Chain A
Amino acid sequence: MLTQMTTASMKSTTEQFVDRLEEFGVSWTTTRPDEAETAITSAVTTPAVGVSPAIDGVSLPPTVEQALSPSTLDAAATGVTEATLGVADYGSLVIPTTQAGIEPVSLFADQHIAVLRERDIVPGMDDALAERGDAFRTDDWSGIIATGPSATADMGALVTGAHGPKTVHAIIVQS
């Protein structure tokens, strides 16, 4: 359960985050770690490919293929990855670029499911950059601030789902 707050200005960071997710057309669920696998299963469209989230107690269901290859990427309807951070002000998901292939898994399938810890939701964009600053400098860290599905207005009207995912679902894991 989210913390109950009475007025808009008193919204929790998580409430702000999910409000913004919805504004950008991103669906979401909250879950406890031991129920995360079930939450992922019910959100996934198969065939699915995934990189196991580095979140304690969370693992991917067997319906999600973890052996990554170009052909599994090509075939996947869903890609499941972790998100390093959430940014409440924008409803953004910060997707890390890793050797395990989080970037292509989050990018090539029509649906992206991002799993993140509730405690990794930061209030603003400045907080996100401050949190990641040293990782960029010392670890050559790369990541994508992803907000909503991919989109284009180049074909005469706004279309969601250009080169990247057409839909995005966030699974917020409470501690």
Chain B
Amino acid sequence: MSSNNASNTTKAARINHILETEGDAVADNTQGFNQGRYDSVAKLDDYEGLKTEARAIKEDAIERLPELIDDLRNAIEANGGTLYLADDAADANAYISDVVDDVGGERVVKSKSMTSEEIELNEALADNGTDVVETDLGEWVLQVADEAPSHIVAPAIHKSREGIADLFTEQFDPDESLETAEDLTMFAREKLAEKITTADVGVTGANFVTADSGTMALVTSEGNARKTVTATDTHIAVAGVEKVIPTVEDLHPFIELIGRSGTGQDITSYISLLTPPVDSPTLDFDTDTLGSADDRSFHLVLIDNGRMAMRDDDELRETLYCIRCSACSNSCANFQQVGGHAFGGETYSGGIATGWEAGVEGLDTAGEFNDLCTGCSRCVNACPVGIDIPWINTVVRDRINRGTDAELDWLVDGLTPDSEPAGLDLGKRLFGNFSTLAWLGSATAPISNWLANNRLSRQVMERVAGIDQRRELPSFQRETLRDWMADRPSVSDPDREVVLFADVYTNHVQVDRGKAAVRVLEALDVAVRLADVRASGRAPLSQGMISTAQTHAEAVAADLTPHISAGCDVVVIEPSDHALFQREYENLLDAESHTQLADNSYEIFEYLYGLLANGADETALSAGDGEEIAYHSHCQQRTLGVDRYTETVLEDLGYDVVTSDVECCGMAGSFGYKKDYYDVSMAVGEELKSQFTTPETDDRTVVASGTSCLDQLDDLLQRPPKHPVELLAADID
């Protein structure tokens, strides 16, 4: 346990350092890319169709991978090149070193390749006595600075222009001072031109390789990959086996999607489609001679390094569909604050990195940063190949939990009726079993609240369970929603019947939003009964406790299915639970149960919208009369596209609504409570705060749909926020 604490302290300190030194540059760049993505994909006639096509191509390619690799080998050999299939990094590096030695290569120039970073090719070549020069300007900056990439597409986003200028001045002592981005670019271009024209071997990555022709696609903007290939006689391309797709024509959706999804460009300057060895004459700048294209040689080094095992792994397989566009990084509220130096492993960064690092390096590496994925799901729609990135993070977290050695569990054993392995992180176990704690909390309120919030308890909680002392803990209500409902008369002759899923928070803590939901539904002639079950499984799932979550999911289905069969609709107040029923339950329940529950459950405003659209009497609800509202919708709600119902209903009732456009509030369930991540959570929250403290929004009533968002806004703002349904219930008895 002491070692656990030590590592926690170190992690919080490390993340804080990154927030302070790199956070601003990372935020500027990633948020710019993210907005660019929204703008660029909006211009496509059939964005979703292209994504579906891209996904289908990748699914098919990974399914048929061994056969495609055979086809690819035949195509490359027919073209006069060589395909080498490397088992692992050492195998690949040994082969590449041999090729370089065979051609007497003294200098290798490289264009950007994450796969070469994965195998640490530069170090291997340097050990072999070869001079290696990165030619992508961002990669070169990092090579000069001896730093690691902070982003898979734009590796130096953590560095500011001033920082690069200082670096160049210190390292190269240039004749003229370097200030503007153009000065720096032209300086680097000239420096690198000398290196490129005198190099013997060019190493590139490959974004895609087509099995039918042996063609590789390279997606770039600077032109360095083109020069790297053209100016050197020997071309070595390094790529993971998952880069193989069937045909040249299959490149189409990827070419349209990759730039838009990543940096928000409709297309990058260059998509090189090379069927090497290429036909360009060789160029010898030393002797000023042109040579024959016949003197060119080409080696494609396809790397397994754990990928074929990922292909056999039902949960990690999707990772192989990844085209490394960086959309999951840029759309991630946490990544936007800390970048890849915190939210990344040995090589890869961002949400999908958990899958890559788990498959390539192992669970230990993935475990170092996996908790920075909060499951907010904002990357899900952004991913051009539709990878369920939050689910991969959940699965890997579950595996990490199970892989942990058993330690002291005595403290929570009595409180945590879960089916998780001994040794599960204590904080995770506490948050994962929140439903049990909440029951105890309400039963003993207000004493439980006093006990929980006194200074000594908070110190103990921080030390033992990693709960940050700076967060206010939820305050349990003595009268639960269930208590309140017990004496409530039912609606006579109702138009519809609803079973209301009152989650743990609504039942025990934010009881007012539950009462408001009941009043509003009843005012529209809907009979309301509470579901017997309260714990959805969201809490354990977010801790990676899949089997506990599954137990909850099955209990929810068992409780709600008979009501649905009897003609009741299911209404959910908490958007993260509604999203759970729609999305994650697909992984936790049999298909029939999931479909029945998903099809018949509605987020509260989605349901109200439906009632009002079908003739319910809106005058029964509290009118807005122009009341000015600032609304923060919930991340998972927006991924499902149901946030628009809240906005529409409020506007139709006469409220004047301004909506935030941050990806997430930063609280994300238990995330913001954890000592390791409190500062990241607050940094994310500051973005939301800044939107709700402008002259236009400063006086507006703040409403938010999610429990976590409400907690976070309560901490961030002077104005207490509430659930939007409370607005509609203000004048109802």
Residue in B closest to A161 when the chains form the complex, CB atoms: B185
Given A145-B255, A154-B154, A162-B185, 8 new contacts (CB under 8 A)? A69-B290, A70-B289, A125-B256, A142-B278, A148-B269, A153-B263, A155-B182, A163-B224
A146-B185 Cα distance, complex, nearest whole Å: 20
Please choose the segment from B245-253, B485-493, B609-617, B671-679 that sits at the chain A interface, where 4 or more of its residues have CB less than 8 A away.
Answer: B245-253
Docked-complex contact B248 and A162, CB < 8 angstroms: no
Give the contacting residue for A99; candidates B80, B137, B222, B280; CB below 8 A: B280
Docked-complex contact A144 and B137, CB < 8 angstroms: no
Docked-complex contact B268 and A147, CB < 8 angstroms: yes
Residue in B closest to A133 when the chains form the complex, CB atoms: B248
CB A143 to nearest CB in B, in angstroms, measures 6
Binary A-proximity of B244-279 (CB < 8 A = 1, otherwise 0)? 000111011001100000010011111111111011
Question: Would you list which residues of chain A between 110 and 168 have a CB under 8 Å from chain B?
Answer: 125-126, 129-130, 132-133, 136-137, 140-159, 161-165
- Chain A positions within 8 Å of B506 at CB level: none
A148-B284 Cα distance, complex, nearest whole Å: 28
Binary B-proximity of A63-98 (CB < 8 A = 1, otherwise 0)? 000001111011000000000000000101000011
Docked-complex contact B185 and A145, CB < 8 angstroms: no
Q: Is B285 an interface residue (CB 8 A)?
A: yes
Give the contacting residue for A156; candidates B161, B186, B248; CB below 8 A: B161
Bin the interface of chain B by size.
35 or more
Docked-complex contact B290 and A68, CB < 8 angstroms: yes
Q: Given contacts A151-B221, A155-B184, is CB(A146)–CB(B269) below 8 Å?
A: yes
Docked-complex contact A164 and B223, CB < 8 angstroms: yes
A146-B161 Cα distance, complex, nearest whole Å: 27
Q: Is A103 an interface residue (CB 8 A)?
A: yes
Q: Is B496 an interface residue (CB 8 A)?
A: no
Please choose the segment from B207-215, B346-354, B382-390, B680-688 that sits at the chain A interface, where 4 or more of its residues have CB less than 8 A away.
Answer: B207-215
- Chain B positions within 8 Å of A47 at CB level: none
- Chain B positions within 8 Å of A163 at CB level: 135, 189, 192-193, 196, 222-224, 226-227
What is the total number of residues of chain A having a CB less than 8 Å from a CB of chain B?
51
Docked-complex contact B215 and A144, CB < 8 angstroms: no
The 10 A-B pairs at the shortest CB distance, nearest first, are namely: A156-B161, A164-B223, A162-B222, A154-B138, A157-B181, A163-B223, A150-B223, A155-B184, A154-B137, A145-B271
* A interface with B by C-beta (< 8 Å): 68-71, 73-74, 90, 92, 97-104, 107-108, 125-126, 129-130, 132-133, 136-137, 140-159, 161-165
Docked-complex contact A142 and B135, CB < 8 angstroms: no
Q: Given contacts A136-B215, A152-B185, A164-B223, is CB(A68)–CB(B281) below 8 Å?
A: yes
Docked-complex contact B248 and A103, CB < 8 angstroms: no
Docked-complex contact B222 and A136, CB < 8 angstroms: no
Q: How many A-B residue pairs have CB under 8 A?
A: 185
- Chain A positions within 8 Å of B252 at CB level: 125-126, 129
A163-B222 Cα distance, complex, nearest whole Å: 5
- Chain A positions within 8 Å of B268 at CB level: 147
Docked-complex contact A107 and B223, CB < 8 angstroms: yes
Residue in A closest to B210 when the chains form the complex, CB atoms: A136
Q: Is B160 an interface residue (CB 8 A)?
A: yes
A161-B185 Cα distance, complex, nearest whole Å: 8
Binary A-proximity of B213-240 (CB < 8 A = 1, otherwise 0)? 1110000011110110011000000000
A126-B135 Cα distance, complex, nearest whole Å: 31
- Chain B positions within 8 Å of A101 at CB level: 280-281, 290
A104-B79 Cα distance, complex, nearest whole Å: 21
- Chain B positions within 8 Å of A145 at CB level: 255, 267, 270-271, 273
Q: Given contacts A70-B288, A157-B161, A162-B189, is CB(A90)–CB(B266) below 8 Å?
A: yes
